[in-house]
Each structure stands twice: as structure tokens, then as C-alpha cells.
């Protein structure tokens, strides 16, 4: 065993309870599903982005209607710079993202180029909004290929207290301080989320290829007084050995006022997180109560920081802005 594997075996980990199914769509609901894969080539070679999603309305009589269907493909060079990106249906403005970094400043650039997509919280905007984290997850996954990988100088200091898992003195940073080895956790095996009883449960997912990461989301908005919101979120990694493990997973249940689209209740459940300190952030999901969904992306970016938060839960909460578009579909 490598030194890193021995270290990992000695450390406690966070919850390992991934979901094993997808609930049936309910009559009078709209479901948004998205996936974004970042596929790694050999070290130093370009990486491929494959993102797609669908908004599917289920009428009260059970009939279905595709409200929106989008695919995005792109390529990154070894520095993380976007060298190609295109969407189906075509979006000419995306060409202006080429030459920019896939993480740094990308969300601001997307909002500058596509303000209407942002304001309407469209499916396309959700896919684009996930690009920076897909890039970060891919770099995290690539470290597994290198047993001798070490964090760049100063990185740990810059990231300390970023979130609950990166808290000073917590399991991960304590292990790094004691041993000089960055513990790169491996999660539990990823159960299949397919639903044989409901072939429309998810959009058509591309085949996941070895040495790639996938971010996968489901948002169900269910008509009623109030609206119900059922959310599922998973990050996973498929290794060169063909085994997929879950990196992060949350579910969230919320209610939303149908007239104002203000969040009435919000409760997150941790399914999979890497370190025992990570679930300490779960209570931050209640802090969106009383806020309109249209304000959540800005709110989370501005206020959800530090060791009482989780980067990945923040991304779950940001995605609830999509209720804007889903509620419009429910009104059809």
C-alpha cells in the first residue's frame, strides 16, 4: 500500500450513505435533471466537457411535456483555459468564453454575456454555472492518478477555513500538517440512480468514461399550496479501474410560496461527505428561509462563507434559483 492509502485507512471519514433510487415523478410537477462530465486525458492533455439536461413537465393526468432540453460540449487545455465550447440549441455568445479560464471569473463572465438566461434561471444557465466546480472536481480527481502528488506551496494556507471540511485543525488539515501527505478521500461505491419503472426519470445520460468526474442534479417542483421542492445532488468519480465512487451527495426538501417564490422551509440531508467535520455545515440550509429563490445565487456567494458552510451544499442552494423557470413551466 502507498503511504497515502495507509494514511487514509487510519482516518475517520464522513457519512457514506448514498441514495439508491430516484423517486417517481408526481402528477402536477416539473423535474429538472442535469449532468456535467469532465473527462481527463493523459496528464497535460486537453480535457473534454460534456453537459446536458432537461426540464420535464408531468401534467396532472400523467402526460409529459419536454419544456427544455440543452446540451453543452467544450474542451479545456492543460492550463484550464476553455479552447472550445458550443451548445445545442446554438448560443453564439458562448464563443466569447473561449480563451478564458474554466474556473476563475467564469460565472461573472457568463452572467455578463447571458443576463437573460441568468435572470430566468434557465437550464442552460445551470449547466454553465456548474462548469467551474466541474473543473475543480476534475483536478481533484486527477490527483488520484499520482501517488506522490503534493499540494502546491501555500495552497493549504489559502484554503484553510474555507468551509467545514477545510477548518484549521480538522481531520484533513491535521493529517496534512502531521504527515506532509494530502489525504485524498475515496467515497463509497456509487449506486445506480436509474429507475426501471420510469424510463423518463432522467434525461439521456452520456456514458461515463474512466478517469472522469460527474456532477448530477435533480430538482422536482411539485404543485400545491405551498409548492414542494425535492432536490438531489451527487458528485462522483470514475477511476481508471472502472469503479465509480461518490465524492459528495446531498438531498434537500423545501417548500416555496407559489405567489412570491419565497422559500418557506428548507432542510438538507447529508448522504456522502469526505470528512467527519463536513456535516457540521448542514444547518446552513435553513438560512435561505424567507428569501426569494431569484436572490439565492447572489445571497450564497456573498454570505455563505467560512467553516459553518460547505462548498457543495452552497452549490445545492444556488441551484434552487432554477425554481423560477420550473414555476413558469408549472403555470402552463
Q: Rounded to 5 degrees, what angle do the CA atoms 163, 169, 175 make?
A: 105
Residue 24 to residue 37: CA distance in whole angstroms: 25
Dihedral through CA 170, CA 175, CA 176, CA 181, nearest 10?
A: -150
pLDDT at 144: 72
pLDDT in tens, 257-297: 999 999 999 999 999 999 999 999 999 999 999 999 999 99
Strand spans (E) along the chain: 29-39, 47-58, 64-76, 82-88, 212-222, 227-238, 244-256, 263-272
Nearest to 256 by CA among 232, 295, 228: 228
User: Could you list the pLDDT tens digit for every one of the 332 residues in the chain?
Assistant: 678 888 888 999 999 999 999 999 999 999 999 999 999 877 767 899 999 999 999 999 999 999 999 999 999 998 889 999 999 999 999 999 999 998 889 999 999 999 999 999 999 999 999 999 888 888 776 677 666 666 666 777 888 888 999 899 999 999 888 988 888 888 999 999 988 889 999 999 999 999 999 999 999 999 999 999 999 999 999 988 899 999 999 999 999 999 999 999 999 999 999 999 999 999 999 999 999 999 999 999 999 999 999 999 999 999 999 999 999 999 86
Q: Return contacts of 103-111, CB within 8 angstroms, 24+ apart.
A: 103/132, 103/135, 103/136, 106/131, 106/132, 107/132
The answer to whether the CB of 211 falls within 8 A of the CB of 240 is yes
Dihedral of alpha carbons 312, 166, 307, 16, sign: positive
Number of other residues whose CB lies within 10 A of the CB of residue 243: 12
> What is the pTM for the complete model shown?
0.94
Amino acid at each position: 500500500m502507498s503511504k497515502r492509502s495507509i494514511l487514509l485507512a487510519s482516518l475517520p471519514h464522513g457519512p457514506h450513505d448514498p441514495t439508491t433510487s430516484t423517486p417517481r415523478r408526481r402528477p402536477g410537477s416539473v423535474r429538472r435533471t442535469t449532468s456535467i462530465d469532465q473527462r481527463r486525458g493523459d496528464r497535460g492533455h486537453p480535457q473534454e466537457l460534456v453537459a446536458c439536461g432537461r426540464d420535464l413537465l408531468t401534467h396532472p393526468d400523467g402526460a409529459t411535456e419536454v419544456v427544455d432540453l440543452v446540451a453543452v460540449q467544450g474542451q479545456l487545455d492543460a492550463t484550464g483555459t476553455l479552447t472550445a465550447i458550443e451548445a445545442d440549441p446554438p448560443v453564439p455568445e458562448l464563443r466569447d468564453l473561449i480563451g478564458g479560464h474554466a474556473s476563475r471569473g467564469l460565472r461573472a463572465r457568463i452572467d455578463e454575456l447571458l443576463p437573460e438566461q441568468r435572470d430566468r434561471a434557465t437550464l442552460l444557465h445551470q449547466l454553465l454555472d456548474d462548469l467551474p466546480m466541474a473543473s475543480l472536481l476534475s483536478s481533484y480527481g486527477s490527483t488520484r492518478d499520482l501517488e506522490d502528488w503534493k499540494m502546491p506551496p501555500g495552497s493549504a494556507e489559502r484554503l484553510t477555513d474555507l468551509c467545514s471540511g477545510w477548518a484549521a485543525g480538522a481531520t484533513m488539515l491535521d493529517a496534512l500538517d502531521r504527515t506532509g501527505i494530502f489525504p485524498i478521500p475515496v467515497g463509497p461505491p456509487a449506486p445506480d440512480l436509474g429507475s426501471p419503472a420510469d424510463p423518463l426519470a432522467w434525461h439521456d445520460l452520456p456514458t461515463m468514461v474512466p478517469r472522469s468526474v460527474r456532477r448530477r442534479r435533480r430538482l422536482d417542483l411539485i404543485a400545491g399550496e405551498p409548492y414542494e421542492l425535492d432536490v438531489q445532488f451527487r458528485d462522483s468519480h470514475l477511476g481508471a479501474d472502472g469503479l465509480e465512487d461518490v465524492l459528495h451527495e446531498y438531498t434537500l426538501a423545501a417548500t416555496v410560496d407559489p405567489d412570491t417564490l419565497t422559500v418557506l422551509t428548507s432542510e438538507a440531508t447529508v448522504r456522502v461527505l469526505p470528512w467527519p467535520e463536513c456535516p457540521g455545515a448542514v444547518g446552513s440550509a435553513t438560512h435561505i428561509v424567507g428569501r426569494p429563490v431569484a436572490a439565492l445565487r447572489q445571497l450564497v456567494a456573498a454570505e455563505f462563507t467560512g467553516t459553518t458552510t460547505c462548498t457543495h451544499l452552497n452549490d445545492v442552494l444556488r441551484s434552487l434559483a432554477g425554481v423560477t423557470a420550473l414555476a413558469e413551466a408549472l403555470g402552463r
